[in-house]
Amino acid sequence: MSTDVFGALANPVRRRLLEGLRAGPRSTGDLAGMFELGRPAVSEHLAVLRSAGLVREEPRGRHRFYHLEAAPLAEVDDWLHPFERYWNQRLRALSELLDEETP
């Protein structure tokens, strides 16, 4: 059903597809032009993104336009947030200070 969002983002092709969709909906062939891949491969990647809820397809004529559906990315953001203080220097200093205060 809805595949793992993290798994969907694991592939660089799929990440670039999402980046390409930020500017607006695009057709499959248009998206496939971004890569040196065969069209079936891109189509499969789009299917993975779709099963992760990251993309919505709108058939228009004989083209099929894909729309960015960024809502599931919030899950990644939520997972990432608790780690933020560990890579941000200033917040890290603050948190270490707090760790000293509360033993």
Interaction site with DNA (CB under 7 A): 7, 10-11, 13, 27-30, 32, 37-41, 43-48, 57, 61-64
> In angstroms, how far is the first alpha carbon of the chain from the final one?
45
Task: Name the minimum Å distance from CB 47 to DNA.
Answer: 5
Residue ranges in contact with a copy of itself by CB under 8 A:
4, 6-7, 9-10, 12, 15, 18-19, 22, 68, 70-74, 76-77, 79-80, 82-84, 86-88
Phi/psi of residue 23, nearest 5 degrees? -75, -15
Facing residues of 60 across strands?
A: 63
Where is 99: in which H helix or E strand? helix 89-101
Task: Name the minimum Å distance from CB 103 to DNA.
Answer: 25
